[in-house]
């Protein structure tokens, strides 16, 4: 027990905890939107394409986050543009950007002289190396996102639900689509620090699946997803520390466990009634 | 005679390289109730999309008498994601479009109006239900409420009677007749037998458009318009049943 309390005194763990909290807030909200719009596959494409930006940033000696954000935003807009304007099948344009991004990243890393540190951290997440600057960025983005949800919830909801009708009713549908695509891209890139490219989507989908067991309204799914994500990631983080296992994987395990238990309880309750 | 609130002139429209509508002309007046009929693939939905501004025609002109004309639109139920997490009230309120500032709280007058519309269409007490929990007929009613909450001058309906149970279908046409006193209505239906008793005029779309300034349709007329329509008959509603025909010759 003292071990457990001591843990919260370490500044690296406090940082990790804050990062998990803020990332869960971002992922809970944005993930609810992604799942509602059925764009999980698009998000996978954006996530993996961002690896190209990370590799290129390493090669050029730039901050990796900037490279990842640039690639993520460009691929998000590219997918919107490719399907809307060029009439490319959406799944094809996603697959092209997904693998092209990874390929650029691999080539860039290969060409970078010497050892590339932290590359594993980008693939699998490295929450214990989060520094105060990362936290400030996460906090600022959380605030922007919360303000955005409060002000633009309805037009975004209406556009996601029925974009043709939204267009007829006079909403700037194209603008809303591009803005939400950029928001999703930035949110994913920020969450990569905690969860890593390969695992990040879990935080955007598993809490939402849990919330969806109880609620059928986007607003409710958003806040319950945030709660589940916060609970799951803190529990996962603590477990990771004590079992000495990678934190990202531990968080996914916890989130899935929460989903499975909740689903079982719900099924039993339904069966009884 | 008053001016048309919507004028379509020499419209050529379609998708990518495929032309669906050819030289279409249509005037919609303030109190029109136009039934649009025609075979599948004949361009009924394409015509609606041109009217709604969702599809730019290859050539021709779409002119609104008042550029600020409010249009109400009821799409085909099939085009909607039924698992989308949205409740009935939010769907209806989405009909308000850009008319209000989104960050302002909802004025009670608008909420009252939404609830009144729900009551009118037999949806009382369902405001909190998710759209996926409704039957097809209930969903249609929700979409009708959404289409009219903004008091449109032009109401465009794409197959509003699909999935609607027969009891409500009569109510639906009654409601539409009342709405017609305040707005022009363009209604697409494959069910020509039923609609012909309610609409004032008929437009037959099969590549091109033939406008018939009355609601009586005869077999000969359809033949001369080259408008092969499948006629489905229903029980309780007054209707004309016309013989099925094929005139591709």
- Any residues with CB less than 8 A from the CB of B216 and at least 6 apart, and which? B196, B240
Query: Which residues on chain A are in Cβ contact (under 8 Å) with B99?
Result: 170
Q: What is the pLDDT of residue B100?
A: 61
Long-range own/partner contacts, residues B100-107 (CB < 8 A, 24 or more apart): B102/A151, B102/A152, B102/A153, B102/A154, B102/A155, B103/A150, B103/A151
What does the angle CA B54 – CA B58 – CA B59 come to, to the nearest 5 degrees? Answer: 110
pLDDT digits (tens, 9 = 90+) for A58-86: 889 888 889 999 999 999 988 888 777 77
When pLDDT is averaged across residues A81-104 and rounded to a whole number, the result is 86
Three-state secondary structure call for residue B208: strand
Q: In what order do the strands lie in the sheet with B71-74?
A: B71-74, B154-158, B184-188, B33-37, B201-206, B208-212
Chain A interface, mutation test: which of B88, B94, B143, B158, most A Cβ atoms within 10 Å? B94
Paired residues of B184 in beta bridges: B154
DSSP 8-state symbol, B87: B
B76 touches chain A (CB under 8 A): no
Burial, A273: exposed, middle or buried (Cβ in 10 Å; 0-12, 13-18, 19+)?
Answer: exposed
Kind of pairing between the strands at B71-74 and B154-158: parallel
Q: Which of B54, B86, B93 sits opposite A168 (nearest CB)?
A: B54
Q: What is the pLDDT of residue A236?
A: 93
A166 touches chain B (CB under 8 A): yes
Q: What is the pLDDT of residue B235?
A: 42
Paired residues of A273 in beta bridges: none
Tell me how far the alpha carbon of residue A271 is from its chain's centroid: 35
Q: What is the pLDDT along chain B (249 residues), one digit of tens a residue?
A: 578 899 999 999 998 778 899 999 999 999 899 999 888 888 898 999 999 999 999 999 999 999 889 999 999 888 889 999 999 999 999 998 765 666 677 788 889 999 999 998 889 999 999 999 998 888 989 999 999 999 999 999 998 877 777 777 778 888 899 999 999 999 998 776 667 778 888 888 888 888 877 777 666 666 666 666 654 444 444 444 444 545 443
Contact between residue B90 and residue B126 where contact means Cβ atoms under 8 Å apart: no
A178 token code pair: 């591009």
B86 touches chain A (CB under 8 A): yes
Tell me how far the alpha carbon of residue B197 is from its chain's centroid: 16
Min distance B92 CA to chain A CA atoms (Å) = 10
Closest chain B residue by Cα to residue A212? B85
Min distance A97 CA to chain B CA atoms (Å) = 25
C-alpha distance across the termini of chain A, in Å: 40
Beta-carbon separation of A170 and B98 below 8 A: yes
Q: Which of A36, A151, A168 sits opposite B85 (nearest CB)?
A: A36
Q: What is the pLDDT of residue B217?
A: 67
Closest chain B residue by Cα to residue A149? B103
A212 touches chain B (CB under 8 A): yes
Q: What is the pLDDT of residue B241?
A: 46
Which residues 44-73 of chain B have a CB within 8 Å of chain A?
52-54, 71, 73
Nearest-angstrom CA–CA distance, A221 and A32: 6
B234 token code pair: 């229903």
Burial, B14: exposed, middle or buried (Cβ in 10 Å; 0-12, 13-18, 19+)?
Answer: middle
Closest chain B residue by Cα to residue A166? B97
Beta-carbon separation of A164 and B90 below 8 A: no
Chain B interface, mutation test: which of A148, A162, A213, most B Cβ atoms within 10 Å? A162
B79 touches chain A (CB under 8 A): yes
Kind of pairing between the strands at B59-64 and B201-206: unpaired
State the ipTM, two decimals: 0.86
Q: Which of A150, A168, A216 sits opposite B73 (nearest CB)?
A: A168
Closest chain A residue by Cα to residue B70? A169
pLDDT mean across residues, chain A: 90
SS (H, E, C) B33-52: EEEEECCCCCCHHHHHHHHH
Closest chain B residue by Cα to residue A32? B85
Tell me how far the alpha carbon of residue B100 is from its chain's centroid: 25
pLDDT of A10 higher than 90 = no
A152 touches chain B (CB under 8 A): yes
pLDDT digits (tens, 9 = 90+) for A173-202: 999 999 999 999 999 999 998 888 888 999
From A46-60, A88-102, A220-234, B92-106, the region with the lowest mean pLDDT: B92-106
Q: Tokens 């008498």 label which residue? A: B65
Beta-carbon separation of B94 and A160 below 8 A: no
Question: Where would I find the beta strands (DSSP E) of chain B?
Answer: 6-15, 18-28, 33-37, 59-64, 71-74, 154-158, 184-188, 201-206, 208-212
Chain B interface, mutation test: which of A86, A217, A225, most B Cβ atoms within 10 Å? A217
Task: Give the dihedral sign, CA A137/A138/A139/A141.
Answer: positive
Q: pTM to 2 decimals?
A: 0.88
CA-to-CA dists, residue B185 to B63, B176, B200, angstroms: 17, 8, 10
Q: What is the pLDDT of residue A219?
A: 94
């Amino acid at each position: 027990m003292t071990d457990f309390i001591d843990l919260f005194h370490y500044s690296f763990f406090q940082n990790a905890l804050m990062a998990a909290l803020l990332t869960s807030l971002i992922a809970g909200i944005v993930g609810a939107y992604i799942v509602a719009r059925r764009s999980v596959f698009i998000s996978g494409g954006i996530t993996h394409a961002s690896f190209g930006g990370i590799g290129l940033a390493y090669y050029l000696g730039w901050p990796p986050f900037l490279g990842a954000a640039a690639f993520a935003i460009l691929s998000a807009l590219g997918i919107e543009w490719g399907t809307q304007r060029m009439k490319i099948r959406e799944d094809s344009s996603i697959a092209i950007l997904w693998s092209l991004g990874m390929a650029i990243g691999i080539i860039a890393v290969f060409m970078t002289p010497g050892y590339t540190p932290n590359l594993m951290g980008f693939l699998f997440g490295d929450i214990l190396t989060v520094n105060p600057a990362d936290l400030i960025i996460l906090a600022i983005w959380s605030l922007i996102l919360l303000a955005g949800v409060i002000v633009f919830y309805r037009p975004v909801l209406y556009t996601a639900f029925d974009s043709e009708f939204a267009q007829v009713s006079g909403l700037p549908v194209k603008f809303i689509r591009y803005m939400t695509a950029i928001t999703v891209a930035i949110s994913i890139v920020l969450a990569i620090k905690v969860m890593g490219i390969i695992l990040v989507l879990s935080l955007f989908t598993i809490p939402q699946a849990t919330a969806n067991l109880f609620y059928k309204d986007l607003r409710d799914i958003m806040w319950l997803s945030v709660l589940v994500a916060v609970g799951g990631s803190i529990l996962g983080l603590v477990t990771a520390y004590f079992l000495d296992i990678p934190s990202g994987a531990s968080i996914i395990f916890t989130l899935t466990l929460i989903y499975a238990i909740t689903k079982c309880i719900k099924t039993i309750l339904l069966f009884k009634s | 005679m008053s001016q048309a609130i919507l004028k379509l002139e020499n419209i050529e429209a379609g998708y990518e390289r495929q032309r669906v509508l050819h030289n279409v002309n249509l005037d919609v007046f303030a109190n029109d109730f136009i039934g649009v009929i025609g075979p599948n693939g004949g361009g009924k939905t394409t015509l609606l999309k041109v009217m709604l501004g969702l599809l730019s025609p290859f050539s021709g002109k779409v002119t609104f008498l008042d550029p600020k004309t409010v249009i109400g639109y009821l799409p085909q139920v099939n085009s909607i994601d039924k698992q989308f997490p949205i409740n009935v009230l939010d769907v209806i309120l989405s009909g308000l479009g850009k008319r209000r500032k989104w960050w302002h709280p909802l004025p009670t007058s608008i909420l009252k109006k939404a609830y009144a519309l729900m009551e009118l269409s037999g949806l009382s007490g369902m405001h909190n239900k998710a759209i996926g929990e409704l039957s097809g007929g209930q969903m249609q009613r929700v979409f009708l409420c959404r289409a009219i909450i903004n008091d449109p001058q032009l109401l465009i309906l794409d197959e509003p009677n699909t999935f609607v149970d027969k009891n409500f279908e009569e109510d639906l046409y009654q409601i539409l007749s009342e709405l017609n006193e305040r707005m022009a209505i363009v209604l697409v239906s494959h069910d020509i037998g039923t609609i012909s008793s309610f609409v004032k005029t008929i437009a037959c779309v099969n590549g091109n458009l033939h406008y018939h300034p009355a609601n009586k349709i005869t077999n000969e007329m359809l033949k001369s318009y080259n408008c092969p329509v499948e006629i489905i008959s229903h029980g309780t509603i007054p209707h004309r049943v016309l013989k099925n025909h094929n005139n591709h010759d």
